[in-house]
Amino acid sequence: MRAPVSLPQALADRHTLTAQRYAGYFVGHPYRAAQQRTGPDAIQVEWDRPWREPAVTSDDCEFCRRLTDDEAVRRVAGYQHAIDIEVLRARADLYTAWLNSGSPDIPELEEVTVAGVVRRRGLTVSIANRRRFIELYADKFEVGALSLVELPLRLKRKLCIEWNHLYRDWLLENPDTQYDFEKREFFREVGDADSPPPERGKSWWQSANPFSGGGG
């Protein structure tokens, strides 16, 4: 029988570092954001070096063969959404207050009735609302989230190709693990008696799955 396999944190870190290389496109210099640190040194930009577009080519691995333009756009958008969720955790109280304000700056609103009074407030689960709040109140975050969804398509494809190669290499290093492209999950075959409970990774990492339903 099959047992789901969660990707290790080391691979998740390489996934993030790869994306950060492409974030340099927006500032014109190599860019690095600390994953576990905040404060003035959390963002590092090598101002004395120009950013150079990565030289990346697709190969014949199964992940690259299945990569389309639409898939590249979807995967980068899913990754952006997941990172936005993580970034917002530090200012969850401000985000909630902003949604409850019903501000015209909020892209997606809903009407709710409170004590017989109809009010408009922002949708909590809206991707657009999260991104808009981060853009409007960038000064409130010690570590922000650049909008990778604004990368040109050629760079989105290159980023996804690099992610593909991370998964390809990891599968080669772990031959007992396989990937089901229909179910969009990593798994390994185990005997019934050896079957462990499903592993649970970080919620943001679900979007890093190259073809996950979550969008990453």
List, for residues 12-31, the tens digit of each pLDDT value: 889 988 998 998 998 888 88
Structural domain boundaries enclosing 53: 2-208
pTM score, two decimals?
A: 0.77
- The answer to whether residue 214 is domain-embedded is no
Rounded-to-integer distance, Cα 165 and Cα 153, Å? 18
Contacts of 175 (CB under 8 A, 6+ apart): none
- The answer to whether residue 215 is domain-embedded is no
- The answer to whether residue 67 is domain-embedded is yes
147 closest CA partner among 52, 26, 14, 15: 26
Contact 110, 120 (CB under 8 A): yes
- The answer to whether residue 216 is domain-embedded is no
pLDDT tens by residue, 155-202: 999 999 999 999 999 999 999 999 998 888 999 998 765 555 555 444
CA 73 → CA 92, 134, 155, 156, distances in Å? 27, 20, 10, 7
- The answer to whether residue 213 is domain-embedded is no
pLDDT tens by residue, 53-82: 999 999 999 999 999 999 999 999 999 998
- The answer to whether residue 153 is domain-embedded is yes
Angle at 84 (CA atoms; ends 83, 85), nearest 5 degrees? 90
Domain count, the chain: 1
